[in-house]
Amino acid sequence: MLALRLLNVVAPAYFLCISLVTFVLQLFLFLPSMREDPSAARLFSPALLHGAFFLFLSTNALGNYVLVIQNSPDDLDACQGTAARRALCPPPSAHFCRVCARVTLRHDHHCFFTGNCIGSRNMRNFILFCLYTSLACLYSMVAGVAYISAVLSMSFAHPLAFLTLLPTSISQFFSGAVLGPEMFVILMLYLWFAVGLACAGFCCHQLLLILRGQTRHQVRKGVAVRARPWRKNLQEVFGKRWLLGLLVPMFNVGSESSKQRDK
């Protein structure tokens, strides 16, 4: 349990450090390299478009990250305490999380990167957090590849060029052909690629569970759920104003049917 609580502190710090490093690289390396193009118009310059798009992705990723933490799942005070009191909570709608030390409705899982449980109230923000984190990482990887290609005069036209970039760059780094900042960007390329794919896969998995009307906790316990139309399952999580929530970080606007169904 001590290891889990320590991970609950280290994982958010790790995510925030990656976000800070990504922002610094975008601001001080990638954007200045795009401003060096004199042929581009000032209004539609690559630097302006790149900065605006990255700002949109990062704002939604960090905004939904904060909302996941602030918009915590329902806390059932009556179910906390002894095992006899927790036994009164009807499974599988309620689950006691040992890390958070509380009982939550519609428990899906505990996310260590946010240090919070994921349930009915913050599920939509969590999915959007995964979506925009994946897009921000993959977009940063593309911008980093363009930066490395321009600085080191490398071509990524070959499909295996990205896979062989790391071992080649390591040997060139020790020989002095590749400097420290370029080597750091190359390492970040693979980190962005790994985090982007992981978040994308997790987002798709969560959406599949929502379409089925299930949670990860119910799947692990083998609990059968009542069949419902997939549109109602989506509306229960994303609400009627789903487009507004997709563009701007905001609190969950889902319906209250999930709370009523679990009671």
In a domain, 227, yes or no: yes
In a domain, 79, yes or no: no
Residue 38 has pLDDT above 70, yes or no: no
> Residue 262's closest CA among 110, 75, 90?
90
Mean pLDDT of the residues in the chain: 83
In a domain, 225, yes or no: yes
pLDDT (tens digit, 9 = 90+) per residue, 120-173? Answer: 888 899 999 999 999 999 999 999 999 999 998 888 888 788 989 999 999 999
Cα–Cα distance measured from residue 7 to residue 2, given in angstroms and rounded to the nearest whole number: 9
In a domain, 140, yes or no: yes
Residue 74 has pLDDT above 70, yes or no: no
- For the chain, the residue count is 263
- The model carries a pTM of 0.86
In a domain, 172, yes or no: yes
Active-site residue set: 111
Q: Which residue has the higher pLDDT, 104 or 231?
A: 231
Residue 254 has pLDDT above 60, yes or no: no
User: What are residue 196's phi and psi, to 5 degrees?
Assistant: -65, -45
> Residue 185's closest CA among 14, 33, 42?
33
CA 115, 121, 125, 130 torsion: positive or negative? positive
Cα–Cα distance measured from residue 85 to residue 257, given in angstroms and rounded to the nearest whole number: 25
Domain count, the chain: 1
Domain containing residue 213: 1-34+46-73+91-247
In a domain, 59, yes or no: yes
Using only C-alpha atoms, the chain has a radius of gyration, in whole angstroms, of: 22
Task: Give the side-chain half-sphere CA count within 13 A for 44.
Answer: 1
Alpha-carbon dihedral of residues 113, 114, 115, 120, nearest 10 degrees? Answer: -130
Confidence tier at 217 by pLDDT (50, 70, 90): confident
